[in-house]
Amino acid sequence: MSNPNILISGSGIAGSVFAFWLLRAFPNANITIVERDPSLRLTGASVDIRSSAVDIIKWMGAEQEIRTQTTNEEGIQFVEANGKAVATLRATGRSDIQSITSEFEIFRGELAKIFIDLIIERVKLIFDESVDHFEQRDDGVAVKFAKSKEVKTYDLLVAADGLGSKIRGMMLNSQPHEQLHDEGVHVAYFTIKSDLLQGGRLAKWYNATGGRVVFLRPDPDPAGRTRGNLINVTTRGDIETKERLNKALREGNESYVKLMEEMFRDVGWVAPEVLQGMRESDDFYCSLFGQIRSPKIHDGRVVLLGDAGYATPGFGTSLAIIGGYVLAGELLSHPGDVKTALERYEEIMLPFAKSSQGGGNAMQLVNPQTLWGIRIRNASLGFVTWTKLDRLAMAVASALGFAGKKVSMPDYQWPAK
């Protein structure tokens, strides 16, 4: 397989990082990327890069470009309704010991653009198209496209099409939502056209009762903007709130904005300005935090990559980068033997992704529902940061491999450039 013919579904971070490394392994590879949207999706709030993904962006030669585009967030400050700070968790500025704010905190759109720019000249990118269905054959996978109705055969079909991947559903003979593990967290992301942080580089996190969180993050735009997040953390038993949020998600942005206005009207702090900023924003986006827990990530010549195979909020971008690198590395190490390459990819990535997913209730633990719970959480956080125990905890967690776990990467023999 010196000139593999590969179809990637999805032009996000996973798809473009994989294409980059595949072209390093097989410079003459024939790569087609189909993107369902009519153009590149270059929006999204802040994502971060952790663990082995930091090494990979260095090997890609993308580190400097990424550094110039980071949000420059200096850490997170927890505040009370009157704006008084109760605790500050500062970024460490280090890759080996990262706090909640990573050394590489960057808006998703900027990162996606950096990666796609590295490959765009060397792949065939088709917009407004998607895979309708596929059929496994001995020598390849035959794909029928939804719009053109054309049928083409590829050596490999890579599903890098995100959380709701239809290809995952077809591969597992199930509905895509059956692998979705709901974490009880809904988030609305939007850019506010004024600087509610007044030039500060610390993000601010404010908890109100009922699991309602107002989270404001700095924006590097010198004209002064704020990245707003309204977060709802629901407990397992609170089916009613969860259903209201899910219904609004299904109905679309206008419905979700109205629900946020209703739910956050009385929370205090700077909520009125945030709600007005949300209403006037041009990039409103809302989603559910969900993990993808798939029993397998390949079948025949179809393979799941990134969120499609193992979405993990908070670590999904790093997993997508690591997955893209490992998949290309295994294809390089097993030329002409797609079966073994995909088995090895699954052996490495599936346990690693599972171990990164944890129980999925971390957000409930750090965001209490009651006023007393919030007061106790604030007092504990205040004590831990005042005594600098947070720094010690981060160092210990990193040394033990709990913070942004690392996967030991096989030594792939990439051909010289």
Ligand X SMILES: Cc1cc2nc3c(=O)[nH]c(=O)nc-3n(C[C@H](O)[C@H](O)[C@H](O)COP(=O)(O)OP(=O)(O)OC[C@H]3O[C@@H](n4cnc5c(N)ncnc54)[C@H](O)[C@@H]3O)c2cc1C
What does the binding site for ligand X look like in residue numbers (CB under 6 A)? 9-15, 34-37, 41, 43-45, 47, 108, 130, 160-162, 166, 189, 285, 306-307, 311, 316-317, 320
H/E segment holding residue 187:
strand 180-192
Question: Is the CB of 8 or the CB of 341 nearer to ligand X?
Answer: 8
Which of 36, 225 has the CB closer to ligand X? Answer: 36
For ligand X, give the closer residue by CB, 132 or 273.
132
Please give the Cα distance from 115 to 13 (Å, whole number). Answer: 7
- Nearer to ligand X by Cβ, of 160 and 275: the residue is 160
CB 363 within 8 A of CB 71: no
Alpha helices in 175-315 (DSSP H): 239-251, 253-264, 271-280, 307-310
In the block, residue with structure tokens 């309204």: 230
Write the CA distances from 15 to 49, 109, 114, 184, integer angstroms.
16, 14, 13, 28
Minimal distance, residue 131 CB to ligand X, in Å = 6
Sign of CA dihedral 248, 249, 251, 256: positive
Nearest distance in Å: CB 40, ligand X: 7
Q: Which residues, 6 or more positions from 73, have their beta carbon under 8 angstroms from its beta carbon?
A: 46, 91, 101, 105, 201, 202, 203, 217, 218
CB of residue 277 to ligand X, shortest distance in Å:
16
By beta-carbon proximity to ligand X, the closer residue of 35 and 390 is 35
Distance in angstroms (rounded) separating the CA atoms of residues 44 and 351: 28
The least distance separating ligand X from the CB of residue 154, rounded to whole angstroms, comes to 14
DSSP 121: G
CB of 285 to ligand X, least distance (A): 6
| 155 versus 307: smaller Cβ distance to ligand X | 307
Instruction: Name the minimum Å distance from CB 176 to ligand X.
Output: 10
